[in-house]
Amino acid sequence: MSIPTLLGIFAIATAGIIGFSSSVLKTIKPSISRADKILVGWFIFSGCIHFILEGYFVYNHKTMPRRLDLLGQMWKEYAKADSRYMTMEPFVLCMESITAFAWGPLCYFIAWMIVTESPHRHPTQIIVSMGQFYGDVLYYGTSILE
């Protein structure tokens, strides 16, 4: 697929996720503040990116170079900027595994905690945010050192 097609599909999926989240939120918690509504949308979207997109990479990393499906093609485009995604580089696989299967589900959990006004919302947000930040530092640090 062409890059504009891949970007178009990604944009439609993003709009669908945010639109669906927004309509469900209006139904289950119409009194939610605008700021919390934006945060719920962000954490649902982030959860989808982490769990679906990065989870796909982790699950298919051994066969990624020959994948021709939609997500495989998206990863190939991403790998043009970072070839470690096509070479089964151990650090990238470890980092993406943690991101997909820890931070992804926790993003959904944070969205739920925002809606239910859980007192554990902010500590969990800090843990996930710091975990993602730490992953970014290691990701770029290992790239720079190479």
Question: Which residue is associated with the tokens 């890059």?
Answer: 3
- Overall average pLDDT of the 120-135 stretch: 94
Q: Is the pLDDT of residue 123 over 90?
A: yes
Q: Is the pLDDT of residue 12 over 90?
A: yes
- Reported as a pLDDT band with limits 50, 70 and 90, residue 133 is very high
Nearest to 114 by CA among 15, 14, 29: 29
Residues sharing a CB contact under 8 Å with residue 128, sequence separation 6 or more, in sequence order = 103, 106, 107, 110
Q: The pTM is what?
A: 0.87
- Overall average pLDDT of the 100-120 stretch: 95
How far is residue 73 CA from its own chain's centroid?
17
- Reported as a pLDDT band with limits 50, 70 and 90, residue 143 is confident
**Percentage above 70 pLDDT, the chain:** 100
pLDDT for 45: 93
| Cα–Cα dist 135/106, whole Å | 15
- Reported as a pLDDT band with limits 50, 70 and 90, residue 6 is confident
- Reported as a pLDDT band with limits 50, 70 and 90, residue 13 is very high
pLDDT digits (tens, 9 = 90+) for 44-93: 999 999 999 999 999 998 888 888 899 988 888 888 888 888 887 888 89
- Write phi, then psi, for 63 (nearest 5 degrees): -110, 10
Alpha helices in the chain (DSSP H): 3-28, 34-48, 55-60, 70-79, 90-98, 104-116, 121-145
| Average pLDDT for the chain | 90
